[in-house]
A and B are shown apart, each in its own frame.
Chain A
Amino acid sequence: MTEPVWRERAALAGLGLRREIAQQLLAAPAGAFDFIELAPENWIGVGGKFANTLRAFSERYPITLHGLSLNIGGFAPLDTELLDSIAGFIRQHHCKLYSEHLSYCADHGHLYDLMPIPFRRDAVGYLAERVQRVQDAIGQRLVLENVSYYAAPEPEMSELEFICEILERADCELLLDVNNIYVNSINQRYDPIEFMQGLPADRVRYMHIAGHYVEAEDLRVDTHGAAVLDEVWALLAKAYALFGVVPTLLERDFNFPPMAQLFAEVQRIRDTQHQHQTGAGKLA
């Protein structure tokens, strides 16, 4: 088994780095996962024992960043100090990509959660311009995630139109969160495959898959605390068929099962990827 290496548009499967399971992940057998994803807002400026943990991962695995506090969709000025720190973190740990949520997480102060941006026409240009400023600050494309949402305040356009216009005008990339599409398709009553067919294939850089909580038959909550549903696995396969294979992350934030179960889910991502890999992808 060689050291894990990051490749774009490749069959790679990763896991999220949570402090609760960090030591178990470090003890994982070689090849259990190909890369690790972390939230920079949990690790920037952190020293001591956690810094040692981070260094151990950084030496052994490619790292991707999944930000939480950028507030790209909010009305507060962009936090340029945060962006500078993230840019420094990317350089220090040779991070492979930086993704954020197409969402907002603050009003005049942080609420540390993802709120739904109203799908308003006047928000599109504003957001696209903010994304461009972020891309200038970090010197790379931002990868934006389609978020799960439970309410669409005062919509003027569909979620799909909103996402597509922002991706196009900001010239950024998409983190396709397959579980979010599934959750939203139930909560907002739309066809998840039709939704995916409307997305720009050439902007899909990275994917997420996760389990969720069934609050009610018509209300699912994206908690990342359960195993991935079969319906969501099927949607992942459909996503690969539509967009090709890209590095994909299993999100699991709490209620951790034995590691063998997590690694089996990671392997299932790979199996799904291999079933959909083109000849060119296999050679890469």
Chain B
Amino acid sequence: MNDSVTSLDKGSPEDTGIGAAIDDRAPPGLVAAQRRFAAHLRDPRNVPAPASIEPRRMRVYTGLVYANIESFLSSGFPVLRKLHTEEEWVACVRTFIAKHCSHTPYFTNIGAEFVEFLGSGFAAGGASRPYLLELAQYEWAELALFLSDESLPASLGPAPEAQAMLAMLPRLSPLAWPMVFHYAVHEIGPGNEPCAPEAAPVCLVVYRDAQDEVKFLRTDLFSARLLELIEGQPLCTAQLVEQLAGEAYQMTKSQLQSGVCGVLANLYEQDIIRFADCE
């Protein structure tokens, strides 16, 4: 299995935000003064404060910056937080503030910045607890979907019968993220930390239903492959069956057809997919 968490670029809202560039009208003296001040706030233990400022006052700023960002992270990643000791967590948040350049102006997207930071190799626990990164990706998916401004196309009533379904085009809900993990991230918690990756890939769909509740569905590999195809180029159900028939499933065509229709009906009822007419 490759590193295949698929949906992390779906952060909402879309933004590029700020980065390394400088406003070409910014006075160099101002830039230098701001860099000195901010560098200390980012890493107060290693970067000296501007000399002219009383340490007690500088600590107000370092305290405010840390407390604000920490509160976003601990509320956005409650399970991840619980798997860290106080000391580990403080170190993780401090490193995030010191090392990560957050581009997003949106407070709702700080979680995406944090996952990016963890993915770049700063995960506390690092090599000894590789599942922490996947857990963070899963917790961010839950929050991002809760906040997403995408909408689920309306349901058209009960799932279509198999014959009708074959001629229809299944489309993934923009509020459904199929994800594949090495660990059963949905079961991880204090007292339940995995010793080793699962024997088989853990396929989950994290999604928001028509009542705006965020849920997950664990699927088998067959359903996961089907979802992967649906996420790709538009294929009607009959074409999906054809596609899968060419892959190594030990099923007759009719078994495959009823298997596909059964899975799709279930995904439809859970608000993970919708059907459109083929053109």
Q: What is A's interface to B at a CB cutoff of 8 Å? A: 39, 41-42, 44-52, 68-71, 74-79, 81-82, 85, 104, 106-113, 115-118, 120, 122-123, 126, 129-130, 150-151, 153-154, 187, 215-216, 219, 221
CB of A78 within 8 A of CB of B34, answer no
Contacts of A70 in B (CB 8 A): 105
CB of B105 within 8 A of CB of A47, answer no
Tell whether B230 is near chain A: CB-to-CB under 8 Å. no
Contacts of A126 in B (CB 8 A): 23, 25-27, 30
Contacts of A153 in B (CB 8 A): 33, 36-37, 50, 52-53
CB of A150 within 8 A of CB of B57, answer yes
- A120 to B: closest C-beta gap in Å: 6
CB of A68 within 8 A of CB of B107, answer yes
A-B contact pairs, 5 of them (CB 8 A): A81-B16, A109-B18, A111-B42, A126-B27, A151-B57
Q: What is B's interface to A at a CB cutoff of 8 Å? A: 12-23, 25-27, 29-31, 33-39, 41-42, 50, 52-54, 56-58, 60-61, 64-65, 68-69, 72, 97, 100-108, 110, 146-151, 208, 212
CB of B103 within 8 A of CB of A118, answer no
CB of A48 within 8 A of CB of B33, answer no
**Complex alpha-carbon distance, A41 and B105, angstroms:** 7
Contact A112 B110, CB 8 Å, known A123-B27, A153-B53: yes
CB of A118 within 8 A of CB of B33, answer yes
Choice from A49, A77, A107 contacting B39 with Cβ under 8 Å: A107
CB of B34 within 8 A of CB of A49, answer no
Contact A219 B57, CB 8 Å, known A76-B22, A126-B26: yes
Contacts of A120 in B (CB 8 A): 27, 29-30, 33
Contacts of A47 in B (CB 8 A): 12, 147-151
Contacts of B42 in A (CB 8 A): 107, 111
Contacts of B33 in A (CB 8 A): 118, 120, 153-154
- A149 to B: closest C-beta gap in Å: 9
CB of B20 within 8 A of CB of A75, answer no
CB of A79 within 8 A of CB of B106, answer no
8 tightest A-B contacts by CB?
A45-B13, A47-B149, A109-B101, A69-B105, A107-B38, A122-B27, A75-B26, A76-B18
